[in-house]
Structure 1
Amino acid sequence: MKKIYRLVPVGLRERAAFMLRAGYYPQFKKPVTYNQKVNYRKLYWKNPLFITCSDKIAVKEYVADKIGREHIIDSVFVGDMITPNQAKQLMENYGSLVVKANHNSGPVQFLDKEDGEETIRNVCHNINQQLKEDYGKVKQEPWYSHVKPKVLVERKLRMADGSDPCDYKFHVFNDPDRSRQTVILQMDYDRHKMLHRSFFNESLDWLPFSWKQPCLKTSIVRPPGYDRMLEIAKLLALPFSHARIDLYNIDGSIYFGEITFAHASGRGKFSSIIYDKWLGKLWELDPAI
């Protein structure tokens, strides 16, 4: 089915996917809603930083220069492929691992010392197969096509109690003279079992909508170092009209995750189109930058 789908002309294919997932007929050339503006960006992007900041390897140096290396998760392996023996040796040296491709927004893999041979082989195979795919063409997010595919392995972050850290996704919108920035915080919960998400403003007041996933939580505890997280998110988003900045907070220590330029590939369905239009109104600058 994927092969047949990709034979359909891109314009028709993207509109069909948009209608199916976002739930309404799009206008990409004169976008109004948030989802429409993401698709405009996919068609007419012109900011070369999209390439650097979408490369999960190259972006680490870029971000380290901006906010300091103490916020960067160390890479324990970078290569053109990964073998099960290499993965096992890395686990011996570093413990639990996060294994990913640098050129996509594809499924991230995890490895723990308790994993058996079959799991290790499957993880390595999955990642090596991801390297063969031109993600930019698959998702029509062309900046990814300019990134040379590599395997990236990182040590898995853990909280002091051994649990997984929260992933704070800051949607940052710049106003026309870049003197004011609006931040919408997205929190994803229970990602590996029953994913649900909630949205909050900069002051951590709950926003009453859902976006692609159901909303179950309506409050959030202010994390230690939250002001620094806001500062980092706003600084990293400054060169763009809009960007999503992902950060981790490990008991007050803040780590950079990634920068995303086409959230949900511009097809995430809102609980009401009112909120799709509202976020679109926050996105005041040219979506192509």
Structure 2
Amino acid sequence: MKFILSKLFWGILRHFLSDKNYAKFRYWLELDTSLDLKNPESFTEKIQYIKLYQRTDLRKLVADRIQVRNYVANRIGKDHLIPLLGTYETIARNDWIGLPDKFVLKANHGCGMLEIVRDKSIYDFNHIREKTEEWKNTDYYRVGREWVYKELPRKIIAEELLLDEEEEIPEDFKFFCFDGHVKVIQIDFNRFGDQKRNLYDRDFNLLDARLLYPRYEKPVSKQENLDRAIEIAETLSQNFNFIRVDLYLMKQQIYFGELTNYPGNGFKPFEPESMNIKMGELLTL
């Protein structure tokens, strides 16, 4: 029965549900439990509550990958922004020709719309044009009902490609901030391959918990600039009861990645469930 309901939900039903009923139905499908919005306790429940009832202009602003740059620059300085190569309504051939050999293309109005270009010479411009136009035609609000993306102007941005000393994509550090304080640090390894993920407390003690991906088994040393990254995350999170601050800790600089209102859209719980509850206890509505 649940399989049939899932097919029905993703096929047609979701298009006719309110945001609240969408959240309730999908929550039950993915977490196999009811969503309690009257007395939310777990982290995932409280993220759903924030998504439905804490609809502030600030949350919408930081969801826009272009507008958030001004917000970040005003708080921690523009030196922490990944260099911007261009913003486009539509990428023209001359825009493509003017870009360097290596860069990143993103859509500003949602997640997952990203192309890492390591060697522009092997790409077909028409393919890139088609892909980026497909991004622009995607109403990301309708995809997952994250209201912050509703009616955002849709643009394409090009940024400098960050690479570490081994010419690899650097690890992604994600700081879970509650009332302006970092409580949990997530590190993603090999995000575009066999992805692994570790969770730490703010003192860099490895937590016996997981979030979606298995643990990275190799030893991980505390980065020299981690304490500075925590300061930056806490500065950026001051105006939120909860926000996740994503940073890249390069050897010479710390770069801002994004501010995430709703990790996993509130449908990806920490494991074990006790961790999901503990994280919920940290979030004051």
Instruction: Please report the TM-score for the alignment, with normalisation by the length of structure 1.
Output: 0.88
Q: Deviations over 1:146-199 (max 9, x none)?
A: 42111111010111331211111001112xxx6xx2420001111111112110
Cα distance between partner residues in 1 of 2:205 and 2:130: 43
Which residue does 2:225 correspond to in 1? 225
Cα distance between partner residues in 2 of 1:5 and 1:123: 33
Aligned residues with identical type, % of pairs: 25
Instruction: Tell me if 1:266 matches 2:276.
Output: no
Instruction: Tell me if 1:100 matches 2:106.
Output: yes
Name which of 70, 73, 80 aligns with 1:71: 80
Taking a change above 3 Å as real, the CA distance of residues 219 and 274 of structure 1, as seen in their structure-2 partners, is: farther
- Matched residue of 1:206: which SS? coil
TM-superposed CA distance for 1:43, in Å, is 0.9
Cα distance between partner residues in 1 of 2:132 and 2:261: 22
Instruction: Tell me if 1:86 matches 2:74.
Output: no
Taking a change above 3 Å as real, the CA distance of residues 71 and 117 of structure 1, as seen in their structure-2 partners, is: closer
Cα distance between partner residues in 2 of 1:28 and 1:34: 12
Which residue does 2:211 correspond to in 1? 211
Taking a change above 3 Å as real, the CA distance of residues 144 and 38 of structure 1, as seen in their structure-2 partners, is: same
The runs of at least 4 aligned residues of structure 1 exceeding 6 Å deviation read: none
Cα distance between partner residues in 1 of 2:25 and 2:245: 29
Cα distance between partner residues in 1 of 2:183 and 2:96: 38
Q: Which amino acid aligns with 2:168?
A: S
Q: Deviations over 1:229-264 (max 9, x none)?
A: 110000101100010000011213111110000000
Taking a change above 3 Å as real, the CA distance of residues 153 and 3 of structure 1, as seen in their structure-2 partners, is: farther
Cα distance between partner residues in 2 of 1:218 and 1:48: 42
CA RMSD of aligned residues (A): 2.0
Cα distance between partner residues in 2 of 1:213 and 1:75: 31
- Matched residue of 1:29: which SS? coil
- Is contact 2:101-2:121 (8 Å) kept? no
- Matched residue of 1:130: which SS? helix
- Is contact 1:75-1:153 (8 Å) kept? yes
Instruction: Tell me if 1:143 matches 2:152.
Output: no
Q: What is the total number of aligned residue pairs between the two structures?
A: 276
Taking a change above 3 Å as real, the CA distance of residues 121 and 20 of structure 1, as seen in their structure-2 partners, is: farther
Structure 1 range deviating more: 10-19 or 248-257: 10-19
Instruction: Please report the TM-score for the alignment, with normalisation by the length of structure 2.
Output: 0.89
Cα distance between partner residues in 2 of 1:159 and 1:54: 26
Taking a change above 3 Å as real, the CA distance of residues 254 and 233 of structure 1, as seen in their structure-2 partners, is: same
Cα distance between partner residues in 2 of 1:197 and 1:64: 29
Cα distance between partner residues in 2 of 1:149 and 1:247: 24
TM-superposed CA distance for 1:84, in Å, is 5.1
Instruction: Tell me if 1:111 matches 2:120.
Output: no
List alignment gaps of at least 5 residues for structure 2: 1-6
